[in-house]
Amino acid sequence: MFKRRFFQPGAPVQGPKPSIMRQKAEELFATKDYPGAARAYEELAEILNASNIPGVPYVIMQAGHSRILSGQTQLGMEHFKMGLSLLATQGEWVRFLRNRIRATNELRLLGLENEADIINSYFSEKVPAGMENVDLSVPIDDQKQERLPVKCQSCGAPLVENEVTWVDDVSAKCPYCGSINRKER
């Protein structure tokens, strides 16, 4: 079960590698074992957090998505709020806004209109002045998209254009493990 102690970083955790745990969680999700996927994502989030590895907000939100699909809407909503709050705390406003939109769209697709409205109203006050009008459409440079590896070369996590931090024109940071991935030539 997801525990409040989650947000208190500590010493690195001994045990399975985060990339293996992420793969297991994704496999459970793909086979529609949503309760199992939720537990796996929650465990992964705890390990990432305890080891100070980036990517915790995304993993928490995936745990929330899994909880909602398994019928545990309230717990899933708490995970969505937690992940979005972390992005806001980190000042990742564009990612915050994109993921808020993604979460509300997913909730609406599942027929959870009230929950989508809750996410929007809960976070509308957190957005700094001027950010409400930011253009969230990602101008995709075809060369960047074609040349960025599909998976992180260190941990194997998927590299999604709007979830990586571009370090420079040719290097992007993996949101899961923080390693730098360069465009392929």
Check whether 117 has a pLDDT greater than 80.
yes
The least confident of 44-58, 112-126, 145-159 is 145-159
Confidence label for 37 from pLDDT (cuts 50, 70 and 90): very high
The residue that leads in pLDDT, 22 or 150, is 22
Cα(170)–Cα(146) distance, rounded to whole angstroms? Answer: 12
Distance between alpha carbon 116 and the CA centroid of its chain, in Å? 17
Distance between alpha carbon 161 and the CA centroid of its chain, in Å? 13
The least confident of 44-58, 71-85, 138-152 is 138-152
Looking at residue 14, what is its pLDDT?
A: 55
Contact partners, residue 173, CB within 8 Å, separation at least 6: 54, 164, 165, 166, 167, 179, 180, 181
Check whether 183 has a pLDDT greater than 60.
yes
Percent of the chain having pLDDT more than 70? Answer: 79
**CATH architecture entry for 4-129:** Alpha Horseshoe (1.25)
Q: What is the pTM for the complete model shown? A: 0.67
Cα(25)–Cα(36) distance, rounded to whole angstroms? Answer: 8
Residue extents of the structural domains in the chain: 4-129, 142-182
For residue range 23-35, list pLDDT tens digits in order. Answer: 999 999 999 999 9
SS3 for 167?
coil
* Secondary element (H or E) of residue 166: strand 165-166
